[in-house]
Structure 1
């Protein structure tokens, strides 16, 4: 399959029933904008929202948005088939966010609908350059946590997991606290399962605060981002455009981290050419796992738009110690 966009530092939800918000979203800069047909759309607006989202997808992709996704209604709601039938008509659709994925069968259903719907389209709409569809699964219940292994292997289209904290809290009858310790097990399980299944995206819970008294992003947003990053998440859901800049900054490699990684990569290349295995840098041993971590940081930094070549030029003289 064609290479997929795996940089989803921020996933911003946009209500699919609001033409104003859909239009406004085109001026944003974000890794992923998800047109929402689920929670932000009232029942009597569902059909209208499908049409609005379909038209939004058919417009040329905005320069500042790397990926446009659609969050459909859950399979158990009975509305998913109608959502899929509409939005799959757009040749620009690349990503579907699937809510309330409780078991592998939810993703199997969506995958089957995608296959049958696209195969039934006119030949010109099945052209080879139509982008492959990626699935992102929302984990929202105790049942989904216990079924993570099966969910992660349910569909070849699955590209990531998203943690829905509010629905999870409702299911377990727990209360969200500022420390988020009540979600530690679930978040760790999601990040670990995604890594084990080699899914590129692990997207953390929503920060419900989006504005301070002075209008700036609240400190809790940055704290939550750093906490999620430490647990292994590489992105975060956003409910307001003001959250996006902070989220994408924190889920990008930090400058000191990138400098270190580039130095390691350059020195490792020289060590390999000299037939050396382990070596040291700044008095610390560098072996294969550390070198691979550095390479991963450099790849992510490059995807985030950081000028790696400039840093490499600056450290081209770095030698393995």
Structure 2
């Protein structure tokens, strides 16, 4: 039996619904192959690589994405010369699933990135500063933006805010509302949990869900199982959803009042997610 803590080995979740996003430094090509527990892999050419190591790391990415490999790539921010070098190297590689743009602070940066990529390549702007958060509506509506992501560590460094869930509620909620208003393909991806303690990771994932974010960056593949479990419909939610659909009808033929329609819509969404994630 498949539970809400599991999904079939080797299954692939669409990027708009992906929950766990594993960051892998580009200096570690032996780790590029995607773990079956992880929904999406991001090879990191930015913070995970020192300036002196970037040329060699970039070449490792080129070799991986030119062969059998596939992954997203976090490129350096648009204010650095590394941005141009990254895009020239990876823009047309067959294995490039998409790009995460570090330290995004304007819609123009997204659009300039899009112009240097193969048409249709999705971009995830990473919001890591007060300026980026203030420009979030513009960034979300920029041509090429696929989903938003929250660089919580750099954001705290930029603003002086703590990692307390209450302190981080505003930027997270703003990205959720902005993403929804811009009709993006998926909800925002939350920043990573630094601690290796699974209790802390569980707590952070619950905060992620409570504020409406639908993905989370991971720093180690072992984090993916907890992230996927907490960011998926629970057994209780799946059972509730089926009961609502049975009661009201899949097409709403037994709806009794105005409150039934939102419940039915939520139930159908939970049921669809459970199906996508291989849960029952």
Q: TM-score under structure 1 normalisation? A: 0.78
Give the structure 2 partner of residue 124 of structure 1.
none
Q: Secondary structure at the match of 2:96?
A: coil
1:193 aligns with 2:201: no
Alignment of 1:285-300 (within 5 A): 286-300=259-273
Q: Distance in 2 between matches of 1:82 and 1:37?
A: 11
Q: Deviations over 1:17-55 (max 9, x none)?
A: 122333xx4444310110000001010111111111122
8 Å CA contact 2:34, 2:40 repeated in 1: no
1:203 aligns with 2:189: yes
8 Å CA contact 1:271, 1:277 repeated in 2: no
Using the TM superposition, give the Cα deviation of residue 133 of structure 1 relative to its aligned residue in structure 2, in angstroms: 1.5
1:265 aligns with 2:228: no
Give the structure 2 partner of residue 49 of structure 1.
57
8 Å CA contact 2:35, 2:221 repeated in 1: no
Q: 1:28 to 1:14 in 2, by over 3 A?
A: farther
Give the structure 1 partner of residue 3 of structure 2.
none
> How well do the aligned residues superpose, as a CA RMSD in angstroms?
1.9
Give the structure 1 partner of residue 217 of structure 2.
237
8 Å CA contact 1:139, 1:161 repeated in 2: yes
Q: Deviations over 1:260-295 (max 9, x none)?
A: 11222233326744xx4326xxxxx85212111111
Q: Distance in 2 between matches of 1:152 and 1:14?
A: 25
* Stretches of structure 1 lacking an aligned partner (at least 5 in a row): 62-66, 120-131, 213-217, 280-284, 308-321
Q: What is the number of residues matched between the two proteins?
A: 266
Larger Rg: 1
Q: 1:270 to 1:158 in 2, by over 3 A?
A: closer
Q: Distance in 2 between matches of 1:160 and 1:68?
A: 16
Runs of 4+ in 1 over 3 A off after TM superposition: 25-28, 270-273
Q: Secondary structure at the match of 1:30?
A: coil
8 Å CA contact 2:15, 2:40 repeated in 1: no
Q: Secondary structure at the match of 1:236?
A: strand
8 Å CA contact 1:139, 1:163 repeated in 2: yes
Q: 1:269 to 1:50 in 2, by over 3 A?
A: same
Give the structure 2 partner of residue 34 of structure 1.
42
Using the TM superposition, give the Cα deviation of residue 252 of structure 1 relative to its aligned residue in structure 2, in angstroms: 0.7
Aligned partner of 1:163 among 138, 141, 150:
150
Q: Secondary structure at the match of 1:182?
A: coil
